[in-house]
Amino acid sequence: MRILLTPKDVLKDFIERSIQADAVIVDTETTGLLNPGICEIALIDLSGRTLLNTLVKPRTPMTKEAQQIHGLSESELEDAPPMEDVYLSNQELFGRPMIAWNWVFDRNAILGSLLPWMKTLPEAAHSKYVQPQGECLMNLYSALYGEYCDIRQARKRVRLENAAKKYNAKIQQSHRALDDCLMLRDVFRAVRRELTDYQVQEVAEVKSTSVR
């Protein structure tokens, strides 16, 4: 017998590591899905305390589809700080481990919004600035709770709103960064309670479960 990590084991380990590391929850609103520029970013701690909640002036134009989702217009963002100013004023926060519902998207949005500024710096100065590190709760959650698709032989990704409904958490209607952070926090805490008494099992073989 040997210990192999099941999706439940991986999710519980992630929750425990996040608590021990004093991770922060992050969410961004952007100008679109392709080449996304951040127009709002929020970070909270695992207790729900707001650490950062600010509009950001993006360098990429706002798409109609994105504006319909979060309701932010380019005129509202005209006097907002650029992403590099937000980053430089909160380097300690950006250096903490992060949790996002879709970490790949949020990470790419953060790095993509900082890239034009980074290109103006001498290459030797790049090492002074930490790149955000984080993990994706959506993938871990979906690997355990997502609906299984026989055709794709994988579990479907679960929307944050649907995960919140499972635990009767408050569904935020605004689709703004801080509200999505708070909704993710509620899901995180609910999953932690659900897995409190779960113990890692010894199994001989585990089939890997992918999320698509």
pLDDT in tens, 126-141: 888 888 999 999 999 9
| 15 within some domain | yes
Amino acid type, 148: Y
pLDDT in tens, 173-193: 778 999 999 999 999 999 999
CB 39 within 8 A of CB 18: no
Domain range for 197: 2-203
Q: How many domains does the chain have?
A: 1
| 9 within some domain | yes
pTM: 0.90
| 210 within some domain | no
Least confident piece of the model among 25-29, 96-100, 115-119? 115-119
CATH number of the domain that residue 92 is part of: 3.30.420.10
Question: What pLDDT, on a 0 to 100 scale, did the predictor assign at position 133?
Answer: 96
Among 10, 169, 177, 161, CA closest to 77: 177
CB 93 within 8 A of CB 24: yes
| 211 within some domain | no
